[in-house]
Copies of this chain bind each other. A is one copy, B any other.
Amino acid sequence: METQSYAKTAVNTVKRLGNRGHYDYGTVHTIINTAPVLHVSFNDPEHPFPVVLPMLGCTGDFANPDADPKEAAQDIYIHGYVSARMFRKGKEAGEEGVPITVAATHIDGLVLSLTPFHNSCNYRSAIAYGHATLVTSPDERLYAMRLITDNVLPQRWDKSRIPPTKAELDSTSILKVRVESASAKVREGGPSEDRADLRDAELRARVWTGVVPVWLQWGEPVPAEGNEVGEVEGYIERWRLEENRRGKRGAYEAVEKGK
C-alpha cells in the first residue's frame, strides 16, 4: 500500500536541510499526538505581533472516528481554554476560519561536537497549516473533548465522571483546524565534524563528543488533598511507566538511527 502523505507545496516544503523533511501522515500526526503541548499561532488584527499560545490538542476525524491517524488525513482539535481571543476571531471570520499554524516539537538529545559551530539537537518537529473554526455541534464537541482527554492519558475519560454537565459542555471551547498542509522535520544521529578538527589529535584527546539523550520523565504521582483512592489506579501507572520507557527508548534510538 502506498504511504499516504501531505502534498509538497510552496507552503509546507522543508527548505532548509530538506533531507530532514517528512510528509507522511504517520510521522506528522504521531509527532503532533505525542507532543506534551502544541504551539498555536495566528494573527490578531488588533495586535502588531503574531499571537502564540501553548495549547492542548490532537488529530481526529469526527466523520471517521475509527480512521488510523497514521494512515489518513486528519483535522486537529484544540482545547481552547486559554484563548478567548482566537475563538472570537473564528466566529467573526465565519465558515472560512482563521488562518492558523500548529507546531509540535520534541527534543531527543543534545549533540556535542568538537566545536560549537557543529553542536546540534536531535529533534522531531511537525508544523500544520490550516483554517480554524469553533466547533458548535454538541456531538462533535463531546467527541473532541474525549479525544483530547484520552490522547493525554488513555482511558481517563471513561474512568472519570462523564458525561460533562451542560454548563461544562457550554463553557468548553473546542477549535477545529482543517489541515491544508503539513510537514515534519527530524534530526537524528551524532555530531558531524570538520576535517581539520578530526585531524587535530590534541583537540580530540580533550573534547568529549557525542549525544546526551533527553526525554520527558513522568514521576511518582502526588495525590490531591481530596483524593480518596489509596493506590494510583493501574491504568495510570501503566501509562506513566510505558511513556517513560517509550521516551527513553526513542531518545537512544534517535542516536543510532542517524548513524
Roughly how many angstroms separate A217 CA and B218 CA in the complex, as a whole number? Answer: 9
Within 8 A of B (CB), among A201-219: 203-219
Q: Are A103 and B54 in contact (CB under 8 A)?
A: yes
CB distance from A53 to the nearest CB of B (A): 8
Contacts of A221 in B (CB 8 A): 208, 210-213
CB distance from A218 to the nearest CB of B (A): 5
A133 on the B face (CB < 8 A): no
Of B16, B51, B53, which is within 8 A of A84 by CB? B16
* Identical subunits present: 2
Decide if B210 touches A227 in the complex (CB within 8 Å).
Answer: yes
Report A111 CB to chain B, min CB distance, Å.
9
Given known pairs A37-B107, A210-B227, the reply for A125 and B54 (CB within 8 Å) is: yes
- How distant is A251 from chain B, measured CB to nearest CB, in Å? 6
Alpha-carbon distance A217/B110, docked complex (angstroms): 12
The 10 closest A-B CB pairs, nearest first, are A217-B217, A115-B161, A52-B103, A210-B223, A190-B224, A49-B129, A41-B50, A208-B229, A117-B168, A39-B39
A-B pairs with beta carbons under 8 Å apart, 23 shown: A11-B47, A16-B84, A36-B107, A37-B107, A41-B41, A50-B101, A52-B101, A52-B127, A53-B103, A54-B105, A56-B121, A113-B224, A115-B160, A116-B164, A119-B152, A190-B225, A208-B229, A210-B232, A211-B224, A212-B221, A212-B222, A213-B218, A215-B217
